[in-house]
Amino acid sequence: MRSSSLNLLRSAARCNRSRLVSCRTARYGLRWSSSSERQWSTPLAKALSEAITTTGPISVASYMRQCLTSPDGGYYTRQTEDHDQFGSKGDFVTSPEISQIFGELIGIWLYTEWLAQGKRKEVDVIEVGPGRGTLMADILRTVATFKEFASSVESVYLIEASPNLREKQAKLLSGDVELQELHNDFRPSDWTAPCQFLPEVNVVYCEDMKAVPRTDDTTPFIIAHEFFDALPVHVFQNKASSSIPASSTILTPTGPITPKHGPQAPKNQWHELVVSPVSKYATKTNISKSKEEDVEFQLTVSKSPTPHSLYLPQTSPRYKALEKTPDAIIEVSPESLKYISDFAVRIGGSNPPSSMPKPPPSSAALSTSQDIAHFSKSQPSGAALILDYGPLQTIPANTLRGIRSHRPISPFASPGLVDLSADVDFLALAETALNVSPGVEVHGPVEQAFFLSTMGIKERAEKLIRSAKAANGNEKVAEETIKRLETGWKRLVDRGPTGMGRIYKAMAIVPYNEKVVRRPVGFGGDVVG
């Protein structure tokens, strides 16, 4: 009986164990099945997550670059016939879309600079990040009214990474003319076609600034409107290395020793803010307060300094001044400095090779001086006009933002479908331009309201309104035109807390002339020449 009872107990135990294992399999098998695979908002989000899982968290700059220009679904490079990023039906409206007067005044500004510099020949008009080409169309239409200036223009260059946007630009500036491919050493996908506003001039639609020739005789007029805000930024936070107080002795296995230079207090170090995927088990309330945003990535502070955090915060006295400020945050954009260096060198030439500082080995990929070959210019000429948003003096911090359908959204939601931007550090641009070229000077930044007002935006709007009132035609259309003109120009110069006239700034790079001191028009100067 005893033996039979033991057998029954053993059988029951085996049965229960097999049930338990089956139960566990049933209970936990679903968690690892393919049916529970994480669903990402976009293919780019999945690709980013897989890359980060393999290589580790990435910098904010890398995240921005992929989200905006990745060939696999970047915001500006994705092929979307049914969606336009710009305008009332898109995600945001830019100044040229608000009022034609904006582009007209920039065209007049170029004309005043051309006059002030002695009506030079061989002018190149260049725009970086031209969007759909609306601004350039208004500029060229205005330039065409100044016959002598128009005849000095040799070429127009539009620098745009998106093939889709380049097609829209060509449609607007060249009409239905067939585009000719340019085969050069830079990009095989560059196109050219005659300009419908300046029939004797060709427009070159290219992907890279390198495709624009740099010669001693050329006078480049460069426009960068809402361009620098879209360039990637690195974000750094100042962190204390240790909370352990300084000690007069150091304990070693052989006994205490006294440091040669006395107690050494721990120093603060810059750590980089990096991007990583949000855990799929995290609740939405832990990440975002918005019920409409599916935030899939997050910012964290790197546990140790990165190559970028060891170098970039040391490139300017403005950053060094904060190295002892705990938790200070700065944003640095090496790509912005590279572009502004190129602009300055094209206008004023570069420093002699012997005076160009050699960067430390760790900064080889970040140095602007390495990317820009020595270029001498017998006489500085040309100008660059930068219009963008950012602070007048302070270093941007925590300004990464996303926008979709005209409303703010987390920059870490729906990668590739959300426009990302960050404030422009205008003083960093000015500092870099002056450092790389002895032949330039910088004016500004000034508020957009000041720039446009001194350029005569109110007077131009009043003239257009009078013309609309005097025109014989549909009264309803005239009223709509007058309302659009009136609200448009006032919106551009609005100095309210979030008004475009206040948050947008203008800055100019012009040739330096030690014999003639002048301010450009729009920056406190008058028309000369």
151-160, 262-271, 288-297, 307-316: least confidently modelled range: 288-297
What's the domain count of the chain?
A: 1
The answer on pLDDT for 182 being more than 90 is no
| Spatial separation of the C-alpha atoms in residues 342 and 335, rounded to whole Å | 11
pLDDT at 88 over 70: no
371 contacts: CB under 8 Å, gap ≥ 6 = 338, 341
Task: Kindly report the average pLDDT of the chain as a whole number.
Answer: 84
Residue 436 covered by a domain: yes
Residue 349 maps to a domain = yes
Residue 301 lies in a domain: no
> Which range marks the domain in which residue 502 is found?
95-232+333-390+425-511
Which of 44-53, 258-267, 435-444 is least confident? 258-267
Does the residue 221 lie in any domain?
A: yes
Residue 83 within any structural domain of the chain: no
Instruction: Annotate 43-60 with b (16+ C-beta within 10 A) or e (fewer).
Output: ebbbbbbeebeeeebbbb
Rounded Cα distance between 201 and 214, Å, is: 18
Amino acid present at 113: E
Average pLDDT value for residue range 190-214: 92
Query: Which of 333, 420, 489 minimizes the C-alpha distance to 68?
Result: 420
Q: What is the pTM of this model?
A: 0.84
Map tokens 């600034």 to a residue: 209
Rg over alpha carbons for the chain, rounded to the nearest Å, is: 29
Strand 401-404, strand 407-409: pairing: antiparallel
Mean pLDDT on 480-508: 95
* Least reliable range by pLDDT among 17-26, 283-292, 442-451: 17-26
Which one has a higher pLDDT value, 268 or 260? Answer: 268
166 φ/ψ angles, rounded to the nearest 5 degrees: -65, -35
- What pLDDT is attached to residue 370? 44
Answer with the residue of higher pLDDT: 124 or 189: 124
Return the pLDDT at 406: 80
The CATH number for 352's domain is 3.40.50.150
Helices (H), 144-252: 147-152, 163-174
The predicted pLDDT at position 12 comes to 41
Asked, for residue 124, whether it belongs to a domain, the answer is yes
Instruction: Give the confidence band of 289 by pLDDT, cuts at 50, 70, 90.
Output: very low
Confidence of residue 93 (pLDDT cuts 50, 70, 90): confident
**pLDDT given for residue 304 in this prediction:** 86
293-302, 386-395, 469-478, range with the lowest pLDDT = 469-478
Is 67 contained in some domain?
no
Confidence of residue 2 (pLDDT cuts 50, 70, 90): very low
Q: Is residue 287 part of a domain?
A: no
Residue 180's pLDDT is: 81
Q: How far apart are CA 506 and CA 445, in angstroms?
A: 5
What is the structure's pLDDT at 33?
35
